[in-house]
Amino acid sequence: MDGGKVLTLHPQGKRGRVIDSIKYALTRQAILDCLQEEDLTQDELVRCAGERLEGRFEGSKGWYVESVKLDLEARRVIERCKAKPHDRYRIVR
């Protein structure tokens, strides 16, 4: 990683965010690692990824998880599945 920047995408076409590429890569891997085991709700995913990121970098882990999650949805790496009582996220197979 070069310490550059990544412009995230948004699944609804909204304006993305510029994120440090190292924080993006760490957060992306944490999200994918969490979803390898099972489909997760929003809260479960934020908690799981946040725990994996603890001590890895400064900043709001929840904000980074949400921004990268939306980017991964827009890039069709993960998907939101409608479910009751809460939608769930999973890796696109």
Among 11, 35, 42, 8, which Cα is nearest to 24's?
A: 8
Output the pLDDT for position 93: 83
The domain spanning residue 17 has which CATH number? 1.20.120.1790
Strands 5-7 and 40-41, sheet pairing: unpaired
Domain range holding 47?
A: 5-91
Output the pLDDT for position 37: 86
pLDDT band of residue 1 (cuts 50, 70, 90) is very low
Q: State pLDDT tens for residues 64-77.
A: 999 999 999 999 99
Number of domains in the chain: 1
Output the pLDDT for position 72: 98
89 has pLDDT over 50: yes
Q: For residue 28, what are the CA distances in angstroms to 22, 87, 88, 90?
A: 10, 20, 17, 13
Q: State pLDDT tens for residues 29-87.
A: 999 999 998 999 999 999 999 999 999 999 999 999 999 999 999 999 999 999 999 99
Output the pLDDT for position 2: 58
How far apart are the C-alpha atoms of 26 and 88, rounded to whole Å? 22
* Peptide bond before residue 85 is cis, with ω within 30 degrees of 0: yes
